[in-house]
Amino acid sequence: MRRRTFVRGVGGGSVAGIGLAGCLTRTGEDEDPIDEDGPLRVASYTSMAAGGRPAGRWLGDAFEDATEDATVEWTIPESGIDHYIQRARYGAAIDADVYLGLTAGELAIVDDALAPGQRLFESLDRERLEHDGRVRDDLGFEEPHDRVVPFDTGYVTLVRDGTAIDPPEAFDELRTSAYDASLLVQDPRRSDPGRAFLWWTVAAYGDDYLSFWRDLRENDVHVLESWTDAYDAYVRRERPMVVSYSTDRVGANAADRDLRRHRITPLDERGYENTEGVAVFSERRRPDLAYEFVDFVLSSRAQAEIAARNVQFPAVERQYVDLEDAFLDHAREPPETVTATYDDLRGELRGRLEDWSAEMDG
């Protein structure tokens, strides 16, 4: 049975997101927050709504088809969640109703940045969510204001080229000359899997995690801004190993790539569980439509499509979703997982990011 470990008590500059500068809907300060006729504005990250086969595009189209008079407008802010932190800080109107893709780390960053009692997202009225009871019990965000519903989860691991490099079995092996100039990682200040990998090293080394990163830097680790940048470099064979997900072979198979070059490689037989959630902004203008969208994301049909297109595991219990054979054949779950809750990250993550920046930039 797969075991799950929580990171506890390990121990701010803003975290800039990356990606497409979306068409931001700017609202006036004195506008009525309820807009009966406006579109549902969904904020997310680039790969959710753009690219060849994005889950967001399918979600938007399918929700519009299933919901009378619904129009979905995607917002992809260049600075990610920091866009909304800054708007909230300065009292500017929030230009979205729903945030799709929120992690525990991002929620902790939001709450660390805002004034006490200021809430960017509202506590959810779960009685309005027909499918809420389907969500796996182990995926709760464990935050005090009940603002987020998980909609998918993934396991950050290494992915390596099995034709070019032997598998490291533990973090310490990455510090050795055998893995010199071998690893591609994402910048944790701008990338969600990058933050997950950073926190995984904190779980492994505690307060000594910076010495691990110092050794990686001396071992010529290559830090890129986003997952897309790092993964594209891996596909181009710039390095034989990349921080990615244990579902990597699903996408590689769909792209007809050589699966020998896509070996899932847990460290210490573990992966970092990284759950994504959906939340409703406190200043939402289409509250009814926002809740309908959140519930739709948890439907069996949507969960199957999210798994296939976003290449992550569903958040609902397995009996509620029929996964494609290709997903079942190629997705892997590590024997054990490490993760961090909102409480673990609150008040800690920003400082770790600042220390990491000083170490790596220095």
Compute the C-alpha angle 156/150/93, nearest 5°: 110
What pLDDT is stored for residue 49 in this prediction? 84
pTM of the full predicted structure?
0.88
**One-letter-per-residue 3-state SS of the chain:** CCEEEEECCCCCCCCCCCCCCCCCCCCCCCCCCCCCCCCEEEECCHHHHCCCCCHHHHHHHHHHHHCCCCCEEEECCCCCHHHHHHHHHCCCCCCCCEEEEECHHHHHHHHHHCCCCCCCECCCCHHHCCCHHHECHHHCCCCCCCCCEEEEEEEEEEEECCCCCCCCCCHHHHHCHHHCCCEEEECCCCCHHHHHHHHHHHHHHHHHHHHHHHHHHHCCCEEECCHHHHHHHHHCCCCCEEEEECCHHHHHHHCCCCHHHCEEECECCEEEEEEEEEEEECCCCCHHHHHHHHHHHCCHHHHHHHHHHHCCEECECHHHCCCCHHHHHHCCCCCEEEEECHHHHCCCHHHHHHHHHHHHHC
Statement: residue 187 has pLDDT above 70: yes
pLDDT at 326: 94
Do residues 24 and 77 make contact, with C-beta atoms less than 8 angstroms apart? yes
Find the mean pLDDT for residues 219-241: 96
pLDDT of 61 above 80: yes
Region 74-78: mean pLDDT is 92
Confidence of residue 33 (pLDDT cuts 50, 70, 90): low
Q: Which of 33-42, 185-194, 201-210, 325-334 has the lowest mean pLDDT?
A: 33-42
**Cβ(249)–Cβ(329) under 8 Å?**
no
Nearest to 62 by CA among 89, 42, 34, 33: 42
Beta carbons within 10 angstroms of residue 14's beta carbon: 18
Q: b/e map of 185-219 (b: 16 or more CB within 10 Å)?
A: bbbbbbbbbbbbbbbbbbbbbeeebbebbeebeeb
Measured CA to CA, the distance from residue 357 to residue 75 in angstroms comes to 28
Q: In 3D, which of 120, 142, 83, 51 has the Cα closest to residue 282?
A: 120
Tell me what pLDDT residue 47 has: 85
Domains of the chain: 14-153+274-333 (3.40.190.10), 155-272 (3.40.190.10)
Average pLDDT over residues 269-281: 97
Residue 25 CA to residue 7 CA, distance in Å, equals: 38
Among 1-15, 182-196, 332-346, where is mean pLDDT lowest?
1-15
